Structure 1
Amino acid sequence: MRNTFKGLPRALHHVAYESGLVVPGADGRAFTADHYFPVDPGDFPTLLVRTPYGRGLPWAALYGLLFAEQGFHVVLQDSRGPLGGPDSWRAEAADGHAAVAWLREQRWFTGVLGTVGPSYMGYTQWALAASPPPELRAMVIQVGLSRPHDLYYTGGAFNLETALVATTMAVHQSRGLGAYLRAAIRAQRRMDKAARDPSIKDAYVSVLGERAAVLEGVLAHPDPADPFWAGTDLTAVADGLRIPTALISGWYDVCLDQTLRQHSRLVRSGAPTSLLVGPWTHTSAFDKGIKDVFADTLGWLNAHLRDDKSGLRPTQVRVWAGDGWRDLTGWPPAGNVRRHVRADGTLGDATSHEPIPLRQDPADPPPALGGPRLGPRAGAKDNRELETRKDVLTFTSEPSTRPFEVLGPVRCEARISADGAGADVFARLCVVDTQGRSTNLCDGLLRLNTAPAGPVDITVPMSATARMIHPGERIRLQLSGAPSPRFARRPAGPSVVSVHRASLVLGSAGD
């Protein structure tokens, strides 16, 4: 088994486990748990991992085996999970406290507790931290979720592909690895066809293989202020939190923005915190990034559960910048670069006032290419073929004469008008290398379901990135309609968006 995890620290202990333990939930519902532990004598801290995805592979290896080998009791426990929708999400806090109450009754529990886990397992950690038990000493939230609405919607558009892949995982992974792999292959084969169907509520069934009540509810309640979402947003848990919390994400992780938002709040609250962002997607952090993710996680847990700080890195923030890691004292660094789009397809210091037409047809949208999505098509991709489409505008800077770094949030500020029945503005930052290859760094979408009566000023948040731009390389802004199947199609017909002016802003405050 350890051959799968080459490059990780050697095992310090032999491991045993007991399976099928019954842990009562807050309402008396029974949850099943597996307990992994070192067989050597001694007192060891405990890690609680609450998962909706089943307790088998890969979680049994990634958490049960690997961390028990490093000297932890690991309790891998089933949770209610996302399929139950808001009622289940709101119950995670009480269930977490019920699990801790069960731990107190175990003879091996020393009262020193940490939590760890990715994605929805991050959500269960935030839920427990909303009113942290006294035993909780540290958390490591990997590619974690804190606000469910943001997983399903971006800029007013339904994140079709991510929602369907996430639900496929939640439905089928707990049924066994074979069932999940078959379902995942079916989902990818049917995704593009489903995205062309104007009725998402019917089309998703062909992808998922069955109906899912949670998707019905999510589709019926797109507004985050709707009572449907009440009590599900755990963003504010980071405010005033004192639990040492490490955050791990990737530049192409669907939860990156949530991670960066929580990091900022933790810094303001004064909590001990660290941030690691690598060149990863939501899933590749545990494949290509496993060595760095495991080292960061283990170092944090040892420091705060054992008072062994030998594995901590020297700075609070470490980010991948394309050609290596950057250790920073904080995120984001101050200062920005602003470039204006021009009608001749360039980016420059001066703005162009000639309106630039951007044609959109929701029945024939640009294909989704890479970016922060769930599934195998996520990540950094060569955009050159995409950029030949007439409905994709590109604006490119002159080649850089000196190296400079893009560090921090990115946004597009524009003044637009539109005919037709609404408009999408999808903005993407790419770096163009000396061979002409255009690689996406970050992007964002804003959907206007009704066409503005006149020119309006908009801002399209484009997430964040870190990238060294080398001499001879150029930066490029893409503008287009919403790419498919990443986003659900806008229901109205074709439109023409007039871009009266637009600016690409690289970096944070300091305008």
Structure 2
Amino acid sequence: MPSRTHGSAPRPAWAPPAGRPPLAARLMRATWRRLPAKLHEVGWEPGLEVPAADGSPLVTDHYFPRAEGDFPTLLVRSPYGRSLPWSPMYGLLFAEQGFHVVLQSCRGTGGSGGAFDLWRNETADGRATVSWLREQPWFDGTLATVGPSYLGYTQWALASDPPPELKAMVVQVGLHDPHALFHTDGALRLENALAVGVGMTYQHQGMAAFLRATLRLQRRLRDITTARPLRGAHLPVFGSHIPWLDDVMTHPDAKDAYWHGASQAGAAEHLGIPTSLITGRHDVLADQTFEQYDRLRRAGCETALLVGPWTHTSALQQGWPEVFTESLAWLRAHLCGDPSGLRPTRVRVHVGGENAWRDLDDWPPATAVSPWFPTAQGHLTRQAPTDRAPLRSFRYDPDDPTPALGGPLLSRTAGPRDNSGLEARGDVLTFTGPPLTEPVDIIGPVSARLSVSTDTGHADVFTRLCDVDAQGRSVNVCDGLGRLRTDGSDPSPITVPMGATAHRFAVGHRIRWQISGGAHPRYARSPGNGQSPVDATAFTPVRITLHADSALLPTVDAR
């Protein structure tokens, strides 16, 4: 095991305290199946106070293996508290496998001092925590980070100027760009913002408080998301003003000074620390994971990617055995010198439709863009159009917005859903290909090139790829939204990224392209008149017309 890197003085002897992990963590641990066998009994030091960059106490729990010898350390910094499910998932399980685990509440959460302010303090507080680690008698100088969602952000923040002790990272369904979590092409990702607000405000107070707040949000979601104006309508759920939530909802432009320093994308552009990335096909942060994978690869950093059949939350529930096993193998390989658990290829992805895992050399694999074009009769064809003639149009009414259904959300309604009822609405266009005579694999990024005109000059366009089975069930595969500004009757081009996927369209199935004017309340409804969706009190219905020189651009496996 590597020696300390910060000095040559020997470590003082350390005797582990007598504390056992909390009973609730042990009980939850007993419910999990398909996990690696326990190697060590676990001890627990709760409530340690680590001085933050400004001296504020960061409350920290220390889990450790009850065994002789040196063990590497995992740093887990979280704004969601240190109890369930984090204590068993990270403290208990990883300590059983031979790691010290430092589970810390970010400032202003879980009893830590100071005030929580989304993203602004994580770099300095992470560095202060490493400085504290260097003084601990049990710290052997070997450090890694691990964790999901915002716990991924705290990892990237530390990696922006990594300490020499940092030897590996495992970013699970992770965040690195807060702006992209809350906005897409200037459109507010409303349901995300509300869900993140509840999680950040209440989860660190305990599961009971978090569940009560979640239920309040579910009961009042319609009232909040249809309020005029939208600004401040969420306050009844939160009971008080949450400055950072108001700020993120009202600053749609990524170039606004408010967002300066928020994105940690740059950390991956120069990183030399082996980094494992884990996401799901319907993870709300999947695009951010793919972006960081690409940056790490271009930087020449050792990296691996696991893409499961999960949403943001199900990756840590149904997917936890795979996520934990993948994470453990990476940490053992790069902290303990044991590569036996690593898979032979850099990328492993679960292919929807086929319901099988594939090992790939890279992401995306060798692929080709294979356009499909819409026709006036509602078909999808390989034949390119010869003009820009209007094909079909629909009326989007902000007072009766097209509802959201499934997809990459933070709620329990995320993931694949039958879109048949949605597609029966008059404000949803569909273009459907013929039954397939051989399977089609779409593996990689998907986008839409749209040629659109409107009668008001202002609209959102939501575009979705669906798989239609032999019974007519239309299931969403991936999607995206773009904000349109047009000159009126003349069609304007817009390219809408629809995320990346791995999906097999089986023989007898059909490929469907779905187009509408929004997905509410996943996205705040477009007022139709150019006003801010947060401040608008007047709404204008919009006639949206799709023209012939539009195309769906999937990435088709070229093998």
Question: What range is the shorter-chain TM-score in?
Answer: over 0.9
Identify the residue that residue 339 of structure 1 maps to in structure 2: 372
1:423-434 equivalences under 5 Å are 423-434=459-470
**Worse-superposed segment, 89-98 or 41-50:** 89-98
Q: Distance in 1 between matches of 2:230 and 2:276?
A: 37
Could you tell me how far 1:390 is from its partner in structure 2? 0.6
1:99 and 1:221 map into 2 onto residues whose CA distance is 31
Aligned to 2:543: 496
Offset, 1:86: 9.8
Divergent runs of 4+, >4 A = 81-88, 449-453
The range that moved more, 461-470 or 442-451, is: 442-451
Q: Distance in 1 between matches of 2:404 and 2:394?
A: 17
Shift of 1:211: 2.3
The 1:224–1:509 alpha-carbon spacing in structure 2 relative to 1, beyond 3 Å, is farther
CA offsets, 1:65-114, max 9 Å, x none?
00001110000001137999996523211111110010000000010100
For structure 1, the 5+ residue unaligned runs are none
Kept in 2: contact 1:15–1:36 (CA 8 A): yes
Deviation of the 1:472 alpha carbon: 0.5
In 2, are the aligned partners of 1:332 and 1:508 still within 8 Å (CA)? no
Residue of structure 1 aligned with 2:404, choices 368, 373, 391: 368
Match of 1:254?
284
Query: Offset at 1:326?
Result: 1.1
CA RMSD of aligned residues (A): 1.8
- Tell me which moved more, 48-57 or 447-456: 447-456
- Answer whether contact 1:86 1:228 (CA < 8 A) is retained: no
Matches of 1:216 and 1:427, distance apart in 2: 28
**Letter paired with 1:292:** E
Partner of residue 358 from structure 2, selected from 326, 329, 334: 326
Aligned pairs for 1:436-475 (under 5 A) are 436-448=472-484, 452=488, 454-475=490-511
Aligned residues of 2:107 and 2:116 also touching (Cα < 8 A): no
Look up the equivalent residue of 2:59 and give its one-letter code. Answer: T
Once residues 329 and 211 of structure 2 are traced to their aligned partners in structure 1, the CA distance between those partners, rounded to angstroms, is: 33
Letter in 1 for 2:83: G
Contact 2:269 2:299 in 1 (8 A): yes
Match of residue 187 from structure 2: 157
Contact 1:276 1:318 (C-alpha < 8 Å) held by counterparts: yes
Match of 1:505 in 2: 553
Distance 1:301 1:154 in 2: 34
Q: CA deviation at 1:197?
A: 1.2
Q: Distance in 1 between matches of 2:380 and 2:36?
A: 47
Q: Are the equivalent residues in 2 in contact too, given 1:281–1:378 (CA < 8 A)?
A: yes
Residue 36 to residue 104, structure 1, CA distance change in 2 (3 Å)? same
What amino acid maps onto 1:506 in structure 2? P
Task: Report the Cα distance in structure 1 between the residues aligned to 2:249 and 2:320, rounded to whole angstroms.
Answer: 34
| TM-score for both structures, normalised by structure 1 | 0.97
How is 1:114-133 mapped onto 2 (pairs within 5 angstroms)?
A: 114-133=144-163
Q: 1:307 matched to which residue of 2?
A: 337
Q: Does the 8 Å contact 1:393/1:480 carry over to 2?
A: yes
The more displaced of 347-356 and 258-267 is: 347-356
2: CA distance between counterparts of 1:227 and 1:85?
21
User: Structure 2 matches for 1:134-145, cutoff 5 A?
Assistant: 134-145=164-175
1:139 and 1:364, CA in 2 relative to 1: closer, same or farther beyond 3 A?
Answer: same
CA distance 1:32–1:450, shift in 2 (3 Å): farther
2:128: which partner in 1? 98
347-356 vs 180-189, greater mean Cα deviation: 347-356
Matched, 1:385 2:421: yes
Are residue 20 (structure 1) and residue 47 (structure 2) matched? yes
| Cα distance, 1:35–1:86 mapped onto 2, change above 3 Å | closer
Correspondence for 1:396? 432
- 416 and 255 in structure 1: CA distance in 2 versus 1, 3 angstrom threshold: same
Task: Describe the SS at the equivalent of 1:385.
Answer: helix
SS state of the match for residue 187, structure 1? helix
2: CA distance, partners of 1:219 / 1:300: 37
Distance in 2 separating the partners of 1:397 and 1:180? 45
Encode CA deviations 1:431-454: one digit per residue, 9 max, x unaligned: 111221111011000123666562
Q: 1:363 Cα shift?
A: 1.2
Contact kept in structure 2, 1:86 and 1:232, CA below 8 Å: no
| Counterpart-to-counterpart distance in 2, 1:81 and 1:443 | 36
Select between 255-264 and 335-344 the one with higher mean Cα deviation: 335-344
d(CA) in 1 for partners of 2:161, 2:271: 9
**Structure ranking higher in helix proportion:** 1
TM-score (structure 2 length as normaliser): 0.89
In our comparison, the structure showing a higher alpha carbon Rg is: 2
Give, in whole Å, the separation in 2 of the partners of 1:236 and 1:453: 41
Report how many aligned residue pairs link the two structures: 510
Q: Which amino acid aligns with 1:494?
A: P
Alpha-carbon distance in 1 for matches of 2:487, 2:67: 68
Instruction: Give yes or no for contact 2:370–2:556 (8 Å, CA) kept in 1.
Output: no
Separation (CA, whole Å) in 2 of partners of 1:97 and 1:508: 44
Q: Summarize deviations over 1:341-367 as a string: whole Å, max 9, x none.
A: 111111001245343112211111111
Does 2:137 align with 1:107?
yes
Q: Distance in 2 between matches of 1:404 and 1:224?
A: 37
Paired with 2:522 and 2:167, the residues of 1 have a C-alpha distance of 38
Match of 1:268 in 2: 298
Q: Structure 1 residue 508: deviation in Å?
A: 7.9
Aligned to 2:102: 75
* Partners of 2:362 and 2:488 in 1: CA distance: 39
- AA aligned to 1:59 is W
List per-residue Cα deviations over 1:417-465 (Å, max 9, x = no partner).
1102511110001111122111101100012366656221110110011
Identical-pair percentage: 52
